[in-house]
Structures are given as C-alpha cells and as structure tokens.
Amino acid sequence: MILATTILETGRGTFPVSLHEDGSGARCLSIRQGDLGLPETAVRLHSACLFGESLGALDCDCSAQLDAAMRVIQERGRGAVIYLFQEGRGAGLLSKIHGMETQRVEGVNSFAAYESMGLPRDLRDYSLAKTALTDIGVGATISVMSNHPAKRAALEEMGYSVVARLPLSYQVSSLAYPELRMKRDEGGYEVDFGDITFSG
C-alpha cells in the first residue's frame, strides 16, 4: 500500500514519489510519471547505493543508471523507478564496507570479496517491488531499464511480460570499468558498453 506521496522537482524532471509498504512492513519507493497502465511502461528496479548516489563514489555506475532511467522516463513522459533499500547487493552496508576493504587490500573484485567473506555474490530480493508496481497501476507489459538478467526474471516471475530492454546511455568514471567488466564477464549482466562513455 501507499503510505505517502509527494511531487519531487528534480534536474531530471518532475516526478510523483511514493513510499510503499508490503504486508511484512518492508518499504520501497516509487519515482514515476504518466499513465503507467498503458502497454510497455518503462520500469527500472533500482537498488540503493549510498556511496555512489550520495557520496560521489566513482567505482560503480549506480548513480549514472538511476539518472539515465529518470531521464528516459522524462523523455517518454511515463515510466517508473522502483527504489529498493538493499545496499551492497542485498548484503547491507556493513558487508558492503567489509567487501570494499577486502577489494582494496587484496586487489580482488567485489564478487570474490563477497565469496571470501562467505557471502553469496548477490542476495537481492526484488519481490517487494511487486507491491509498488501494483500500487501505482503498472500494466501487464513493460520495457525494462536494466542490464541485470535477475531483475528481468524477477519481473517476469511477478507476472509482467517484459517486451523490451531499453539500454541506458550515460557517462561514468573509468574507475567503474573493472566492476562493469566483472558484471558482464562473471555475472552475466548485459552491460551496454556501446552506450557508456568512460571519463577520466
């Protein structure tokens, strides 16, 4: 259910935002525009990244993907980002920081760091997004704004028909390149390197 809604004025456009809660008390946010019941609504399931989104960390593309998805919604006039508070690929901020330090000291990638800590590479659960997607009336067919096959699979498991994947174009630091290459080569992500510009 929707707990509260307001209108957010941003540099990427004006977006209604709502806080949603499921039956267990878990909460997520929707950021959206337009009539979402029409076919092929653009949807992004986005996992929180405090360091990238708020502190300007350069080693990932989370902030750039969120920015690009909101710009796509603005251009199309409709679509939704479901913002899930699951830091560190669902392992939480503490594990994320431990993992980052393992990466830094041992020179390994984030998958290997998690594995050395006895954690799965990815603990994320997207099922909470169904609450928000239902609350805001997203129709049966959607276009996904993500390179992560697990997000597409999760949406399909929720009953949505994913008819397209919209590549996101954005610029990130070259410091993000190793993480993106790891996601493509070891994680099966469909990273759109042709749409990503690396700087610095």
Q: Which one, 134 or 173, has the nearer CB to Zn ion?
A: 173
Residues between 47 and 66 that touch Zn ion (CB under 5 A): 49, 52, 60, 62
Q: Which one, 46 or 130, has the nearer CB to Zn ion?
A: 46
Type of residue numbered 160: Y
> What is the smallest separation between the CB atom of 60 and Zn ion, expressed in angstroms?
3
Residues 6+ apart with CB under 8 A from 104: none
Q: Which one, 52 or 99, has the nearer CB to Zn ion?
A: 52
> What is the smallest separation between the CB atom of 160 and Zn ion, expressed in angstroms?
25
> What is the smallest separation between the CB atom of 47 and Zn ion, expressed in angstroms?
8
How far from the centroid of its chain's Cα atoms is residue 40's Cα?
18
> What is the smallest separation between the CB atom of 66 and Zn ion, expressed in angstroms?
9
Residues between 12 and 51 that touch Zn ion (CB under 5 A): 49
Q: Sort strands 79-84 and 27-33 into parallel, antiparallel or unpaired.
A: antiparallel
CA pair distance 78, 64, nearest whole angstrom: 19
| 181 has catalytic annotation | no
Q: Reduce the DSSP state of residue 193 to 3 states and report it.
A: helix
Among the listed residues 59, 61, 67, 122, the single catalytic one is 122
Residues 6+ apart with CB under 8 A from 147: 165, 167, 168, 183, 189, 190, 191, 192
| 122 has catalytic annotation | yes
Among the listed residues 124, 125, 135, 185, the single catalytic one is 124
Residue window 61-90: x/- pattern of binding to Zn ion, with contact defined by CB under 5 A: -x----------------------------
Max intra-chain CA distance, the chain: 49
CA pair distance 161, 139, nearest whole angstrom: 9
Site for Zn ion, rule CB under 5 A: 49, 52, 60, 62
Active site residues: 122, 124
